[in-house]
Amino acid sequence: MSQETKPKAPLSIEGAIILPYRYAAGGVMSRFLIALRDSKKTLGIRCSRCNMVYVPPRETCLHCFGRMDEWVELEGSGTVESYTVVRYSLPVHPMAAPFAFALIKLDGADTSLTHLLGEIDLEKIKVGMKVEPVYSESRKASILDISYFRPAN
């Protein structure tokens, strides 16, 4: 018997982690998503102690650890704070590459929302440009009920 442990062509086997999950949205995220679905409205939540409006909304304030319960209805339009044109593809991308992600400071919010840009020349995106949401026809209470943001006239 040969004492050699390393064969000429070592093997590998295919594998995958396939597990179903149901992530609970909680009251605040649910209300935000339902407002997108049912009334095409973007809701923020305000911390009255810090005078900060968060979008997407969450239960607690990052800065004071307090609970937030003051809802704010936003116009939905905003300003591009940063953007990137993505040139690689992942099976989880909602758009085919090349496409653009942007950080959008919605009017009336103090945080930025990450989203997609559409109806836009990818070479002509600029930081500081005004954008507005384009809603999906078939809305499912998802952040993708906003299909993307496009340049505001």
Chain residues binding Zn ion by CB under 5 A are 47, 49-50, 61, 63-64
Q: Is 124 among the residues that bind another protein (CB under 8 A)? A: no
Query: Long-range contacts for 129-133 (Cβ within 8 Å, ≥24 apart)?
Result: 129/79, 129/80, 130/77, 130/78, 130/79, 131/77, 131/78, 131/79, 131/80, 131/102, 131/104, 132/76, 132/77, 133/40, 133/42, 133/76, 133/77
Q: Judged by CB, which is closer to another protein: 123, or 137?
A: 123
Q: Is 134 among the residues that bind another protein (CB under 8 A)? A: no
At 47, give phi and psi (nearest 5°).
-90, 115
Please, which of residues 51-110 interact with another protein by CB under 8 A?
Answer: 54, 56, 62, 81-88, 90-94, 101-103
Q: At its nearest, how many Å lie between another protein and the CB of residue 87?
A: 5
Q: Among another protein, Zn ion, none, what does residue 47 contact (CB within 5–8 Å per kind)? A: Zn ion
Q: Judged by CB, which is closer to another protein: 1, or 90?
A: 90
The Cα–Cα gap between 138 and 147 comes to 10
Residue 33 half-sphere exposure toward CB, CA atoms < 13 A = 14
Q: Among another protein, Zn ion, none, what does residue 124 contact (CB within 5–8 Å per kind)? A: none
Q: At its nearest, how many Å lie between another protein and the CB of residue 72?
A: 16
Q: Is 152 among the residues that bind another protein (CB under 8 A)? A: no
Helix/strand/coil for 144? helix
111: left (phi over 0), alpha (psi -120 to 50) or beta: beta
Q: CA 26 from chain center: how many Å?
A: 17
Q: Judged by CB, which is closer to another protein: 127, or 152?
A: 127
Can you give the binding site for another protein, defined by CB under 8 A?
Answer: 6, 10, 15, 17, 21, 23, 25, 29, 33, 54, 56, 62, 81-88, 90-94, 101-103, 111-116, 127, 142-144
